[in-house]
A and B are shown apart, each in its own frame.
Chain A
Amino acid sequence: MSSSSSLTRALGISALAAVAVNAWWGLSLSPPDKVQGQLVRILYVHPAVATMCYAGFGLCALGSICWLWPRTRSPRWDRLAVAGAEVGAVFCAATLITGSIWGKAAWGVWWTWDARLTLTAILFALSLGYLALRRAVDNPHSRALMSSAVALLMALTVVLDHYATAWFATLHQHTTLFKPSPSIHGWQLVTMCWSFVALGLVFAWMVVHRYRLEALEERYESEGYLVAIEARRAEGQPVSAAARPETGRVLVGSAASAERAEALVEDK
């Protein structure tokens, strides 16, 4: 059974094509920098993934605020929040990894307790906490309420992180692109701008699929046990005590437990 639709298929193919063009321009066509040399090629990935990390946590905050607001409260906003948080966490990890590699080559160290770096690490830790909290709480209302509080804290950290280079004395360089006269020109500017388009398409594809996954998990939480019972009845066998979960969530809380449920159904 396919997990894609015509919309996500088009989005996925566009993202792959855009990333391929980004790799071609970034690794081959764009010239080395006069100051940084070949290291500038890391910057055709790092700023874009960092921006997508912010976008993910921004979506998470938007979904959480809309869920908290009584007039707009809907499970859809909670799904958007968790999709943004998880995809944002992945891009945050990519930001830390690529930034660390650039730091080792440019500064001579993998890590330093610079304000921008430290705040990004805190943001990553908060996002892991957010995802762990969602796994720990069973009640959907309590889960959404508590995770919304963490989402707002993450949004505050994103603002601090973004302005860290302006507000604190940091090693990290200041804004390169988003200012009246960008610090880079020509092919370098084109390639860097394209990297935002390419990674933006990847980000959108990931968020759409993660949102769908959350909707499916919610549905499986409510119906998965019934599906297992129906399958058992179809086989003409009673449901054994071993297959009966203590609570619905123990058996059907995630895709992994879904696999276990399927294994129980198939076990004759």
Chain B
Amino acid sequence: MNYVWAAWLSCGVLLCVYSFRTLWRERTLRRLLGKKGPQWP
């Protein structure tokens, strides 16, 4: 069962880290570009 937890956790951590990194980059750029930045639907 340790292998099962290792597989699920490693996959989860990788996807979470990438998601937060992408969100952080997006927020940084939107803050810099201000209100003139693209408005998403």
Point out residues on A near B: beta carbons under 8 Å.
Answer: 1-3, 5-8, 23, 26-27, 38-39, 41-42, 45-46, 49, 87, 90, 93-94, 97-98, 101-102, 104-105, 202, 205-206, 209-210, 212-213, 215-217, 219-220, 223-224, 227, 254-255, 258-259, 261-262
Give B19's nearest chain A residue, CB to CB: A206
Choose among B8, B27, B29, B32 the residue that contacts A45 (Cβ–Cβ < 8 A). B8
Please state if A217 and B29 are interface contacts (CB–CB under 8 Å).
Answer: yes
Within the complex, what minimum Cβ distance (angstroms) separates A37 from chain B?
A: 9
Known: A42-B7, A101-B7, A209-B26. A202 touches B31 (CB 8 A): no
Q: Across the A-B interface, how many residue pairs have beta carbons closer than 8 Å?
A: 110
Please state if A41 and B27 are interface contacts (CB–CB under 8 Å).
Answer: no
Residues of B within 8 A of A93 (CB): 14
Please state if B32 and A42 are interface contacts (CB–CB under 8 Å).
Answer: no
Residues of A within 8 A of B7 (CB): 42, 45-46, 97-98, 101-102
Q: Count of chain B residues with Cβ under 8 Å from any Cβ of A?
A: 29
Give A8's nearest chain B residue, CB to CB: B40
Within the complex, what minimum Cβ distance (angstroms) separates A230 from chain B?
A: 10
Query: For chain B residues 2-41, which have a beta carbon within 8 Å of chain A?
Result: 3-4, 6-8, 10-11, 14-15, 18-19, 22-34, 37-38, 40-41
Please state if A220 and B29 are interface contacts (CB–CB under 8 Å).
Answer: yes
Please state if A259 and B26 are interface contacts (CB–CB under 8 Å).
Answer: no
Choose among B8, B24, B41 the residue that contacts A27 (Cβ–Cβ < 8 A). B8
Please state if B32 and A224 are interface contacts (CB–CB under 8 Å).
Answer: yes
Please state if B37 and A101 are interface contacts (CB–CB under 8 Å).
Answer: no
Please state if A38 and B40 are interface contacts (CB–CB under 8 Å).
Answer: no
- Complex alpha-carbon distance, A147 and B30, angstroms: 26
Please state if B29 and A255 are interface contacts (CB–CB under 8 Å).
Answer: yes
Within the complex, what minimum Cβ distance (angstroms) separates B40 from chain A?
A: 4
Indicate the member of B1, B6, B14, B26 with the most A CB atoms within 10 Å.
B26
Residues of B within 8 A of A224 (CB): 32-33
Within the complex, what minimum Cβ distance (angstroms) separates A53 from chain B?
A: 12
Residues of B within 8 A of A258 (CB): 28-29, 32
- Complex alpha-carbon distance, A202 and B14, angstroms: 12
Please state if B3 and A213 are interface contacts (CB–CB under 8 Å).
Answer: no
8 interchain residue pairs of minimum CB distance: A255-B25, A5-B40, A105-B3, A216-B29, A3-B26, A101-B7, A98-B7, A42-B7
Please state if A7 and B18 are interface contacts (CB–CB under 8 Å).
Answer: no
Known: A7-B40, A8-B40, A219-B38. A39 touches B19 (CB 8 A): no
Within the complex, what minimum Cβ distance (angstroms) separates B21 from chain A?
A: 9
Please state if A94 and B11 are interface contacts (CB–CB under 8 Å).
Answer: yes
Within the complex, what minimum Cβ distance (angstroms) separates B1 from chain A?
A: 5
Please state if B22 and A49 are interface contacts (CB–CB under 8 Å).
Answer: no
Known: A202-B15, A209-B26. A261 touches B3 (CB 8 A): no
Please state if B10 and A1 are interface contacts (CB–CB under 8 Å).
Answer: no
Please state if B3 and A101 are interface contacts (CB–CB under 8 Å).
Answer: yes
